[in-house]
Amino acid sequence: IRITPDPRMNALLVSAPEASLSLIAELIKALDRPTSQVAEIKVFTLANADAQLMVQQLQALFNVTSTGQGGAQRQQTGIQVAGAEDASSGLIPLRFSVDTRTNSVIAIGGADALRVVEAIMLRLDESDVRERKNTIYRLKNSPSDGIAQAITNFFTSQSDLAANDPNLFSTVEQLEREVIVVSEPVSNSLLISATPRYNDEILRLIERLDAAPQQVIIQALLVEVELNDTDEFGIELGFQDSILFNRSIVDAANTFTTTTVTQTGANQSQQTTNIISQAAQPGFLFGNPATPLGNNVGAPGSSKVGSQGLSNFSVGRTNGDLGFGGLVLSASSESVSFLLRALSENRQVRVLSRPQIRTLDNQQAQIQQGQTVPIVQGVTLSATGIANPNVTRDDAGVILTVTPRISPDGNIVMQLTAEKSQYNLNSGVPIFTDANTGNVVTSPVKDISTALTTISVPSGQTVVMGGLITSRTDEVHRKVPWLGDIPLLGYAFRYDFLQTRRTELLIFLTPRIIWDDAESEHIKEVEMARVHFIESEAEEIHGPLRGVPAEELYQNGGLDPRYPMPMQGFPPGAIIEQRLPN
CB count in 10 Å sphere of residue 111: 15
Per-residue pLDDT of the chain (582 residues; tens, 9 = 90+): 888 888 888 888 888 888 888 888 888 888 877 655 667 888 998 877 778 888 888 888 876 555 555 555 555 555 555 555 555 555 567 888 888 888 889 988 877 778 888 888 888 887 665 678 899 999 998 899 999 999 999 988 888 877 777 666 656 667 777 889 999 999 999 999 988 878 889 999 999 999 988 999 999 888 889 999 999 999 999 999 888 888 887 766 666 666 666 665 555 666 676 655 657 778 888 888 888 887 777 777 777 888 899 999 999 999 988 889 999 999 999 899 999 999 999 999 888 888 889 999 999 999 888 889 998 888 888 887 788 889 999 999 888 899 999 998 889 999 989 888 999 888 788 888 887 777 888 888 898 888 899 999 999 999 998 888 899 999 999 999 999 999 999 999 999 999 999 998 888 999 999 988 888 888 888 888 877 767 777 777 877 777 655 455 445 544 444 444 443 344 444 444 444 444
Measured CA to CA, the distance from residue 22 to residue 25 in angstroms comes to 5
Residues near 66 by Cβ (< 8 Å), separated by ≥ 6? Answer: 73, 74, 75, 76
Give Cα 275 to chain centroid, integer Å. Answer: 74
Looking at domain 34-63+92-128, does it have CATH number 3.40.190.10? Answer: no
Sign of CA dihedral 42, 47, 53, 54: negative
> What is the DSSP pairing of strand 254-262 with strand 268-277?
antiparallel
Question: Contact 373/439 with Cβ under 8 angstroms?
Answer: no
User: Any idea what DSSP says for residue 519?
Assistant: H
Q: Is the peptide bond preceding residue 282 cis, with omega within 30 degrees of 0?
A: yes
CATH class of domain segment(s) 133-212: alpha beta
Amino acid at 94: L
**What totals of helices (H) and strands (E) does the chain contain, helices first?**
11, 26
The dihedrals phi and psi of 89, each to the nearest 5 degrees, come to: -70, -30
Residue 35 burial by Cβ neighbours in a 10 Å radius (0-12, 13-18, 19+): exposed
Answer whether 442's CB lies under 8 Å from 458's CB.
no
Residues 195-203: contacts with CB under 8 Å, at least 24 apart:
195/129, 195/131, 195/132, 195/133, 196/131, 196/133, 197/127, 199/133, 199/135, 202/151, 203/135, 203/137, 203/575
Neighbours of 469 (CB within 10 A): 10
Q: Is 133-212 in the same CATH topology as 34-63+92-128?
A: yes
- Contact between 368 and 395 (Cβ < 8 Å): yes
Helices 196-209 and 144-163 pack at an angle, to 10 degrees, of 130
Would you call 61 helix, strand, or coil by DSSP?
Answer: helix
- Conformational region of residue 6, where left means phi above 0, alpha means psi within -120 to 50, and beta covers everything else: beta
Three-state SS string over 237-275 comes to: EEEECHHHHHCCEECCCEEEEEEEEECCCCCEEEEEEEE
Provide the residue ranges of all domains of the chain, joining segments of one domain with +.
Answer: 2-32, 34-63+92-128, 133-212, 349-515, 518-556
pTM of model > 0.85: no
Residue ranges in 421-534 assigned as alpha helix (H): 517-530
3-state secondary structure string across 277-346: ECCEECCCCCCCCCCCCCCCCCCCCCCCCCCEEECCCCCCCCCCCCCCCCEEEEEECCCEEEEEEEEEEE
